[in-house]
Structure 1
Amino acid sequence: MLSLTLLLLITLEQYSGLNTPLAWVVTGLAAAVAADGLRLMAAKPRASFIAFLLAQLCYSAAFWVQNSAAMVWWLPALLIAAAIVGFFLVLPQLERRIVPVSLMGLTLLQLIWAGGQIWLTTHTLASLVGVLASLTMAASAVLLAINTYRRMLPGGQPLVSLTCLLSQALIVVSVLLLP
């Protein structure tokens, strides 16, 4: 929580009020700090989950507001196909978690689509960092799910924390690199 708060403060220092993508990232970081705080209070897992989904939606909005080109439709088709295969592979282990897993999957899918859309249409360093951040956030969510619901990974919790913080720091960097 401290790392995310520091990242939020650093980002706020760079905020000039004129940069719409940065405003979305600041909002997403605030939601992520709230999600982390709620997660630490163990009694509020649903609220933490919703706040983290809100953070992901804010991050994707930071990418979507940058899009001025025509949509690349093969990317969401590919992502949806991969998500369907992944969903059916883990379906037997989901039990009561089908709805939260689906919501998280759809949110991450559109986040990756947003980051990938910008990268495919602009080919800038900022957009490359953004799509890598989106993929890292998805990897972090998968690691968290495996570590929490499947089996404990060696060094799993630090790895989840590292990838989650890294993805959010990369999102900040991608927006700060915008011209």
Structure 2
Amino acid sequence: MLSWVAVCFSGLLHINAAYKGPQWQFYLFKPLTIALMMLIGVMGGEANSYTYLILAGLAFSLVGDIFLMLPKDRFIPGLLSFLVAHILYSVAFWQQFEGPMVWWLPSLIGAASVIVFLLLLPNLGPLLIPVGIYIAVIAQMAWGAGEFWMNAQTQVAAHAFGGALLFMMSDTVLAFDRFKGPFKTSVLLIMSTYFCAQGLITLSILS
């Protein structure tokens, strides 16, 4: 319990620093929050492929966080790091799936993803293809988590699906903030949903 209090405290310090400073706090507590989740997963997760894939996804997320925080624009390396993280999460979720697919689920997720892509399209410029690929990968990650939950109906699957949906929400707000223009509450929305998403995915290896 205390370990999750530390995670929440670290995440809140990062969000607060994004608005009020100091700068060192902003740079320290974002990666530290994910590192704490990794530590919780290492200490409490079972020794199986699902745990290892989720931990690897968290590690690539941490690298992506660092790239996106650097003073110089490192958007493409950050995007690639999170792309790998989503692929690792996808493999973890799809490995847990057994049984018939629910086909309306990818239809809903796919439709939402296409709408987001079309809204961003006029502003993407040379990043059209990388962003399009990223949206497709995170959409199928959420689809895999959703199929896992619809089939298993377990707490583990619920945490995975909830985390995947929050990740989609976080990245959607991030994309609009970057390509359509920043707005005052963007950091709060992006980081709160992001930390909650990673927290739920981490919980899925502990349940």
TM-score scaled by length of structure 1: 0.89
Which residue of structure 1 lines up, in the alignment, with residue 112 of structure 2? 82
Q: Pairwise CA RMSD of aligned residues?
A: 1.7
For residues 64 and 123 of structure 2, what CA distance do their matches in structure 1 show? 25
Distance, in Å, in 2 between the alignment partners of 1:117 and 1:42 is 39
Task: Judge conservation of contact 1:20–1:65 (CA < 8 Å) in 2.
Answer: no
In 2, the alpha carbon distance for the partners of 1:96 and 1:72 equals: 35
**Counterpart contact for 2:113–2:135, Cα < 8 Å:** yes
Distance 1:133 1:127, change over 3 A: same
Could you tell me how far apart the structure 1 residues matched to 2:185 and 2:107 are? 34
Q: Could you say if the C-alpha distance between residues 56 and 100 of structure 1 is closer, same or farther in structure 2, counting changes exceeding 3 Å?
A: same
Q: Which deviates further from its counterpart, 152-161 or 58-67?
A: 152-161
Which TM-score applies when normalising by structure 2? Answer: 0.78
Residues 35, 47 of structure 1: 8 Å contact kept = yes
Alignment check: 8 A CA contact 1:25 1:172 kept: yes
Q: 5+ residue gaps in structure 1?
A: none
In the other structure, the counterpart of 2:153 is 123
For residues 25-82 of structure 1, give each alpha carbon's deviation from its aligned partner in whole angstroms, at most 9, with x where no partner exists: 1100111111112222344332221111111111122211111222223322332233
The worse-fitting range, judged by mean Cα deviation, of 52-61 and 78-87 is 78-87
Contiguous gaps of at least 5 residues in structure 2:
1-30
Q: Mean alpha-carbon deviation: is it higher for 43-52 or for 53-62?
A: 43-52
The reply on whether 1:172 has 2:197 as its aligned counterpart is no
Indicate the residue corresponding to 2:88 in structure 1: 58
Q: Is the alpha carbon distance of 1:81 and 1:168 closer, same or farther for their aligned partners in structure 2, counting shifts above 3 Å?
A: same
What's the counterpart of residue 125 of structure 2?
95
Residue in 1 aligned with 2:33?
3
Asked if the contact 2:177/2:183 (under 8 Å) is kept, the reply is yes
